[in-house]
Amino acid sequence: MNLRTGGRPARLILNPKRKAPVCFSNETLDNFVTNLGISLRDMEKLRNFIRTKAGRKSVPSYCIRQASKKAKILKDVYQCRSFEFDIDELPEKETRPVVNADAETLLEAALEAREEYGEVRLILVCIVPNIKETYDNVEILWDLTQLNKIPFKFVSDFKLLLIIVGQETANSTYSCPFCFINLSDLRDGEPGAKTLYLGKDNVALQISEECLKLKTFGDLSESFKKFEDQNCDKKNAKHCHITVNLPLFDESDEMHIIEKAVIPELHEVQGIVNHIFFDGLVPLLGRDNAMKRPKKLNLISKHYHGEMFEGNACRRLLKEADLLNDSDILGEHSIFEINPFIQTLKTLDKLVNASFKSERPDDSWQQHVNELKRVYPATGLSNASKVHVLLEHLKHGLYNLSSDPLRM
Ligand SMILES: [Zn+2]
């Protein structure tokens, strides 16, 4: 009912329905602020905006105070200094600023913040802009943060992991961070050993147990000692498992690398799906036809070191494997040629769903690994190190995560 008055028209509502008031909790606002990386001043503007639109009680009045106290607990532990680093494409080292905290102090501060304000999900230990991934660079950051003083699990792509455990990455003879398999074993197998899976043209790959022995920190120290005995000559690196530095992790000799380093899900999925797509489907179907499937899903490839699909796009390509069975994509090829790829992608999707999740993996992953060993060779693709890690080391990775109190 609108009332005609002298000034602004007034509106009167009879028997109004009571709406539940909108209320944003401290935690919701905190997550928002953290995800957007906005400042406390911007947060205050945001709070005022919400209060004008959704009512005075929609935001707790003490939220800014709460957030600034929380930020202060963590802010005081950081410091900024400059160091010389190797930079991509530059022969000389350059100075870069490093913001870092001492890991132990930071952990205490995070525990204090958690006690007062609830879960702390992500904490930055150290940040430095635009430097190259090298052992010397990572060593500076490792020393600054004193990371080894706290218990932690490590996750990164294989290149960085190899660097940190002291192995050379330019030489891909031993490209698996977790065992001693070498590239020729992975491609051709070794006579007289156990048959593990079928290789190209259905030739049984023979890979010895010795090659698949899990690497320990003791093995790496021993290999490095050998490298030193050979005057640290990189030409001889292949005789000491390309170990050219001591591991930066400070762990006991008996510990396996896979106990410390978690198998990186995204890196694995991204590597294998791109390998299947660009090394398998593109040469088989021709680029134009192969690209029709990602196009149907509105997925665009990116260019970093060569062309690739990113993690989330790869998950979609895995889920929609059946789309490959389309006359538009197949062109003159028969479904029998493409079937191994569809089966591989489907099996990989099941394997990823069964093993990479926050709750305890169900036991079906073992069945999917066996299936992958059966269907993957039919694609004719090489056993890239990422495929090898899934087939041989997933069981160790899952076991370590489920039995370890540090499980994330
Ligand atoms: Zn391995």
Over the stretch 75-130, which tens digit does the pLDDT of each residue have?
778 899 999 999 988 888 999 999 999 999 988 888 887 777 677 677 889 999 98
Q: Is the domain of 64 the same as that of 182?
A: no
Mean pLDDT of 218-231: 90
Is residue 30 within 8 Å of 23, Cβ to Cβ?
no
Cα angle 105-109-114, degrees, rounded to a multiple of 5: 150
Mean pLDDT of 326-353: 91
Tokens encoding 59: 């935001």
Expressed in angstroms and rounded, the spacing between residue 175 Cα and the centre of ligand 1 is: 8
Residue 141 is part of which domain span?
Answer: 78-149
Expressed in angstroms and rounded, the spacing between residue 388 Cα and the centre of ligand 1 is: 6
Burial class, 358, CB count within 10 angstroms (exposed 0-12 / middle 13-18 / buried 19+): exposed
Cα angle 363-393-148, degrees, rounded to a multiple of 5: 110
pLDDT given at position 197:
46
Q: Is the domain of 71 the same as that of 96?
A: no
Expressed in angstroms and rounded, the spacing between residue 382 Cα and the centre of ligand 1 is: 15
Q: Is the domain of 388 the same as that of 306?
A: yes
Sequence-ordered strand ranges (E) for 26-141 = 78-85, 94-101, 126-127
Is 4 part of any domain? no
Is 104 part of any domain? yes
Of 149, 179, 207, the residue at which a domain comes to its end is 149
Q: Is the domain of 83 the same as that of 45?
A: no
Tokens encoding 193: 């050993």
Q: Which among 199, 208, 144 has a CA at the least distance from the CA of 179?
A: 208
Expressed in angstroms and rounded, the spacing between residue 179 Cα and the centre of ligand 1 is: 4
In degrees rounded to 5, what are phi and psi of residue 195? -80, 125
Is 13 part of any domain? no
Contacts of the segment 170-173: beta carbons below 8 A, 24+ positions apart: 171/237, 171/238, 171/242, 172/385, 173/238, 173/242
Q: Is the domain of 100 the same as that of 199?
A: no
Q: Is the domain of 65 the same as that of 104?
A: no
Cα atoms in the 13 Å half-sphere on the side-chain side of 269: 25
Q: Is the domain of 270 the same as that of 392?
A: yes
Q: Is the domain of 38 the same as that of 137?
A: no
Q: Is the domain of 119 the same as that of 187?
A: no
Is 12 part of any domain? no
Residue 233 confidence (pLDDT) above 50: yes
Bridge partners, residue 167, by sequence: 243
Expressed in angstroms and rounded, the spacing between residue 2 Cα and the centre of ligand 1 is: 77
Q: What is the mean pLDDT of the chain?
A: 82
Q: Is the domain of 398 the same as that of 280?
A: yes
pLDDT given at position 191:
37
Expressed in angstroms and rounded, the spacing between residue 177 Cα and the centre of ligand 1 is: 7
Expressed in angstroms and rounded, the spacing between residue 386 Cα and the centre of ligand 1 is: 9
Expressed in angstroms and rounded, the spacing between residue 345 Cα and the centre of ligand 1 is: 21
Expressed in angstroms and rounded, the spacing between residue 284 Cα and the centre of ligand 1 is: 29
Expressed in angstroms and rounded, the spacing between residue 212 Cα and the centre of ligand 1 is: 6
Residue 141 confidence (pLDDT) above 90: yes
Which sign, positive or negative, has the C-alpha torsion 14, 20, 26, 27? Answer: negative
Which sign, positive or negative, has the C-alpha torsion 212, 217, 222, 228? Answer: positive
pLDDT given at position 185:
66
Is residue 327 within 8 Å of 335, Cβ to Cβ?
no
Q: Is the domain of 82 the same as that of 181?
A: no
Expressed in angstroms and rounded, the spacing between residue 176 Cα and the centre of ligand 1 is: 5
Residue 139 confidence (pLDDT) above 60: yes
Expressed in angstroms and rounded, the spacing between residue 360 Cα and the centre of ligand 1 is: 23
Is 3 part of any domain? no
When computed from its CA atoms, the radius of gyration of the chain, rounded to whole angstroms, is 27
Bridge partners, residue 406, by sequence: none
Domains held by the chain: number: 4
Q: Is the domain of 168 the same as that of 88?
A: no
Percent of the chain with pLDDT over 70: 85
Is 196 part of any domain? yes
Of 234, 257, 280, the residue at which a domain comes to its end is 257
Mean pLDDT of 384-390: 86
Expressed in angstroms and rounded, the spacing between residue 119 Cα and the centre of ligand 1 is: 36
Expressed in angstroms and rounded, the spacing between residue 181 Cα and the centre of ligand 1 is: 6
pLDDT given at position 195:
42
Expressed in angstroms and rounded, the spacing between residue 392 Cα and the centre of ligand 1 is: 6
Expressed in angstroms and rounded, the spacing between residue 389 Cα and the centre of ligand 1 is: 5
pLDDT given at position 70:
66
- Identify the residue with better confidence: 153 or 403: 153
Expressed in angstroms and rounded, the spacing between residue 182 Cα and the centre of ligand 1 is: 9
Burial class, 313, CB count within 10 angstroms (exposed 0-12 / middle 13-18 / buried 19+): buried
Which sign, positive or negative, has the C-alpha torsion 202, 176, 255, 220? Answer: positive
Expressed in angstroms and rounded, the spacing between residue 228 Cα and the centre of ligand 1 is: 25
Confidence grade of residue 324 (pLDDT, cut at 50, 70, 90) = confident
Tens digit of pLDDT for each residue in 273-303? 999 999 999 999 999 999 998 998 889 888 8
Is 8 part of any domain? no
CA distance readout (Å), 400 to 207, 225, 261, 312: 24, 28, 10, 26
Is 16 part of any domain? no
Of 75, 98, 114, the residue at which a domain comes to its end is 75
pLDDT given at position 266:
87
**What three-state secondary structure class fits 126?**
strand
Tokens encoding 288: 């134009």
Mean pLDDT of 387-399: 86
